[in-house]
Structure 1
C-alpha cells in the first residue's frame, strides 16, 4: 500500500481528509503528540492511544544520540521499540542542531555539532538524516534536513538560508530514492516572514517534488499575527493534492487559524509541557490548576469528555497532586491536554464536513478572548 492523501471536504480554505499509510489512516486536520526521545513525556503508549491520536512525532537528533540509530535498527525500529503500531513522523534534526547555537557549524555538506549530552562530535548531512529516519528509525513520514531561519534575519540572510535548505532538500530526495512505496518524504518551506522568499522556497521544493510540504521557521518568536500573515502568503503556494504540515505549532488558537488557512498537520510540545507545569487547556481557555480557587472544586475539568483524565478526577484532587508535587498530577494533566487537542481536531473535522467551520472558529475566538471576525 502506498502513501496517499485524499481530501474529503472543504469549507473555505479549511479542509478535511485522510493520509493513508501502511500503518493506518491519519485523519486530517491532525495533531501529532511529540514523542521526542521515543516517549511522549509523562504518558504511556496506551494513554496516548486513548486520546485518539493517529500519528506520533519522533526526533532524529535525540534518537541518533540516544539510544542511537544503529541500535534502534537492531531492536526492530522505533515502532517496535516504543510499542506504537501507528504511523510515526520524524523531524530531521535540523531544528535541534539550529538551536545548539555555539555548539554547531553549518556548511554546505551539513551540520557538524557537539552533543548536548556529552560533548561528542557528530556530522548530520541530508543523506545521513534520510538514512537515520528511513532505514534505522523506520519512520513512515520523513522530513528533509533543513536550516531553520532565525526570526529577525535580514532578507539577504533568509535568502541564503532557504537556498541552502532547498539544496539539502534536493539531496534528501536523491538519498530517499524512488522505490520507498511505503514511506513518504516531506520538503520544508523556509523564508522567514518575507512573502517573496516564502514563494521562492515553495517553488524550489515543488520543482523537486515531495509527498508533502511542511512550513518551517515559524513559532520562533514572530507572534501569532505575523505567523498568520505568513501562512496567508505561503499556503496558497503549496500543491492542493499534497498534505501541508505546520511545524512546531502551537496553541489552540494557532491551530484553528492555521486550519482556516488550509493547513492539515501540526505538532507541538505545548500540551504535555503545559500539563507538567499545572496548566490545563479547556474550551474556555487555559486554567492553572495550582490556583487556590481549585482547592475545594469538586468538579472535573470536563465532565463531557471521553478522556478519563478530563472527566473523572476533580479539580480539587488535581490541585492537591500539584501542591504535593506528586508525579501523577503531571501525567493526568498531560493526558487531559492531549485529549483536549484531539477533541479540538475532531471538532474542526466535523465542522468542515458540515460546512460549519467558520461558525466554530467564531465561537472559539469569542470563548478564548480573541477579537471577533469581521
Structure 2
C-alpha cells in the first residue's frame, strides 16, 4: 500500500542491519534495496517490466545525462521521466555531481556551482545546487539528491575537507530549493574522503538539516574495501536511525552484504548491467566469464535453481556463442541474469534480517562463492575493462 507522504519504517533489526519499507505515492521500496541504474532513462538491455518482475522497487536516473540528452525541459513537456520511460514506480535521480567530475571535458568549481563542458558535444553548462534540484524536479523524480563535490580517492586531507565543506553548503542550498514536496524526498550526501573526523562532521551537520534520507558518497571510487567499510562504520552512528541510508555506487555482491551488515538500506551500481554487456555473469557460485572457451560445449544453465529464465533456460554453450558472436541477445540475457541475481541477493538479506539470522545467512552466501572458487567455477574478470565503459 502506498501513501501520499514519504515515510520510512524499520520493521526488524539484526545487529546494526535492518529491514523495512520506504513508502511514497508511487510505491513501496523494500529495504535493503538494490536500485538498477537507468542512467539515461533506460536500464540498459532490459525492458521495464522485466526489471520490475525481478523485484526492483525503484530505479535510478541521472541528472547530468538527462539534462544533456534529451533535456530536462523536454522530458517535462513529455509528461516527466516516469511516463517517458514507462516506469510508473519510484525513481531516484543522482544530482549529476559525480558525472560532472568524472566525465565533463573541462570543469570549473566555485562556490556558485560547476561550469563544465558536455562530454557529448562540448557545449558549456552551469550546474548549481538550485539548478540540479530544478532539473530533478522537471524530471519528476521521487527521491532527489543534493549536488555535491565528489573527489577521487586517495586524496589529501585538505582536498577532502574543502570538498566536504562545499558539499555541506550546497546541501543547505539544495534544501531551500527543494522546499516542501509532500510524497517526495531530498537526500543529503556525506563526504569527507577517507578521513574519519571529516566524515563524522559531515554526517552530524547533514543530520541537523533534518532531511528525509542520507547517502554516503565518495566511496567505491578506487579505495580498498576495508577503507569503504571503515567509513560506513564511522558514519553510521551519526546518521538518524529513523531515516534511510544510501551507499552510492556500490557495488559488488560482497560489498553489498558487508554494507547491509553495517546498517545500509539502499544501493545502486552499474556493475550487474555493465558486466552483462561484457560477457560477465554473477551467480550463487561466483562469477563467470562467458567468453572463455571452457563454456563452448557446456550444456548446463547458469543456475538451474534460479527463477529467472535467463539463468535456468539457456545453456552456457549457447550464451558463450552469443557473446563470442557479439549478438545483442547475449547482452540482454546476461544482464537479465545479473539483475536477477542481485535482486535474489537482496531478498535473501531482507528475509535473513527479519528472521534474526543475518550472520549465518551471509556465511552461507560466502560459502557458495568460496565453493565455486574451490571448484574452479570462479573465473578472472577484467574489472578495469568493465569500469572503463560509460
TM-score normalised over the length of structure 2: 0.93
Cα root mean square deviation, aligned: 1.1
Shift in Å, 1:364: 2.2
Residue of structure 2 in register with 1:220 after alignment: 221
Residue of structure 2 in register with 1:328 after alignment: 329
Structure 2 alignment gaps of length 5 or more? 372-390
Q: Which moved more, 1:357-366 or 1:111-120?
A: 357-366
Distance 1:196 1:256 in 2: 25
Distance 2:292 2:53 in 1: 28
Return the structure number with greater relative CO, CA threshold 8 A, min gap 6: 1
Q: Which moved more, 1:196-205 or 1:95-104?
A: 95-104
Q: Check conservation: 1:50, 1:307, Cα contact below 8 A.
A: no
The CA deviation string for residues 231-265 of structure 1, in whole angstroms up to 9 with x for no partner, is 11111211100000000000000000000000000
Shift in Å, 1:146: 0.3
SS at match of 2:360: helix
The CA deviation string for residues 165-218 of structure 1, in whole angstroms up to 9 with x for no partner, is 00000000000012x002100000000111100000011111112100000000
Distance 1:209 1:107 in 2: 26
Distance 2:241 2:337 in 1: 34
Shift in Å, 1:157: 1.5
Q: Please say if 1:43 is aligned against 2:46.
A: yes
Shift in Å, 1:102: 5.2
Matched residues, number: 368
Distance 2:23 2:35 in 1: 15
Matches within 5 A, 1:1-374: 1-100=4-103, 103-134=106-137, 136-178=138-180, 180-369=181-370
The CA deviation string for residues 108-152 of structure 1, in whole angstroms up to 9 with x for no partner, is 000000000110000000001111102x10000000000002212
Q: Check conservation: 2:219, 2:228, Cα contact below 8 A.
A: yes
Distance 2:87 2:304 in 1: 29
Distance 1:345 1:324 in 2: 32
Call closer, same or farther: CA 1:100–1:276 in 2, change over 3 Å. closer
Distance 1:274 1:142 in 2: 27
Distance 1:302 1:226 in 2: 33
Q: Check conservation: 1:184, 1:211, Cα contact below 8 A.
A: yes
SS at match of 1:267: strand
Call closer, same or farther: CA 1:101–1:120 in 2, change over 3 Å. closer
Distance 1:298 1:269 in 2: 29
SS at match of 2:287: strand
Distance 1:229 1:369 in 2: 24
Structure 1 alignment gaps of length 5 or more? none
TM-score normalised over the length of structure 1: 0.97
Q: Which moved more, 1:305-314 or 1:346-355?
A: 305-314
Q: Check conservation: 1:56, 1:88, Cα contact below 8 A.
A: yes
Distance 1:349 1:181 in 2: 28
Q: Check conservation: 2:146, 2:189, Cα contact below 8 A.
A: yes
